[in-house]
Structure 1
């Protein structure tokens, strides 16, 4: 899909602010894994790299103030409430798709993985849908809506 005769690659490049992150199962039941008020940033570079960070608001702070240490429950809540990965991406203009290649990821299961994302642009809004992924104990469909904040 093209916007103002720009390719998907040209439209993707920039910084995006998360509007919503929701998942739905085959029955249509919708949940928000990081809460309805989740916060996030996605960055796509012209050189073909992507970085995505999404977090649940209100995660407990580590009482110690240490960067890498805290009580197990706080560490678990911090990890449970955060989704992060970076790597390269490749666009398939004909399929309205971008493939994310995960070089680093908070989720170790995603390391080295390639995941297709279907994209749609409406003005400064980018909607990304994925093929089913395993979330909250079952295969679910994800939809992320982003608003462009910088080219």
Structure 2
């Protein structure tokens, strides 16, 4: 077997290193208009109103959750009803009753994808790539929003409103 001089190994390593630097690509720029939206936001309230003005809080009085808008244009949404559900009766995540599955589905909301911002209309759009709720997958979900300092208010504020606070 022929042996290569040490300089061959050095050149090979240098080529790999340069290829990594050149071909990995520059980090994606944040979507235009998203600069103050980028960050992690903690859910404070989740409210809906019916036609009579009656409020409902499907995730409870003190829901938990986060929305993360990153600087590459990706978003992740995770919301959980409080108080949390009790542990599974079987104590085994592979043995779940239909009622437990339904309760879990109703108590948690999650989706992810990319986002764009339309400052002119005061909206952001999540381009959903995947979701716990299959109705959201491969859809665009526009959301009106207002930023007030470290508070993010999502919704039309007449029939639905989500309030989040920036995590520092």
For 1:39, the equivalent position in structure 2 comes to: 64
Matching of residue 142 in structure 1 with residue 167 in structure 2: no
For 1:25, the equivalent position in structure 2 comes to: 50
Q: Aligned with 1:118: secondary structure?
A: strand
Q: List structure 1 segments (4+ residues) > 2 angstroms apart after TM superposition.
A: 63-69
Q: CA deviation at 1:37?
A: 1.3
Equivalent of residue 9 in structure 1, options 31, 34, 41: 34
CA RMSD of aligned residues (A): 1.9
Consecutive unaligned residues in structure 1, runs of 5 or more = 1-6, 132-139
> Which structure is higher in RCO with an 8 Å CA cutoff and minimum separation 6?
1
Distance in 1 (alpha carbons) for counterparts of 2:33 and 2:62: 27
Calculate the TM-score normalised by the size of structure 2. Answer: 0.74
- State the structure with more CA Rg: 2
For 2:149, the equivalent position in structure 1 comes to: 123
Distance in 1 (alpha carbons) for counterparts of 2:142 and 2:130: 17
Q: CA deviation at 1:75?
A: 1.7
**How many residues are aligned here?**
136
Equivalent of residue 103 in structure 2, options 68, 77, 81: 77
Structure holding more strand per residue: 1
Q: CA deviation at 1:130?
A: 5.2
Q: CA deviation at 1:8?
A: 4.5
Structure holding more helix per residue: 2
Distance in 2 (alpha carbons) for counterparts of 1:8 and 1:16: 17
For 2:4, the equivalent position in structure 1 comes to: none
Q: 1:47 to 1:144 in 2, by over 3 A?
A: same
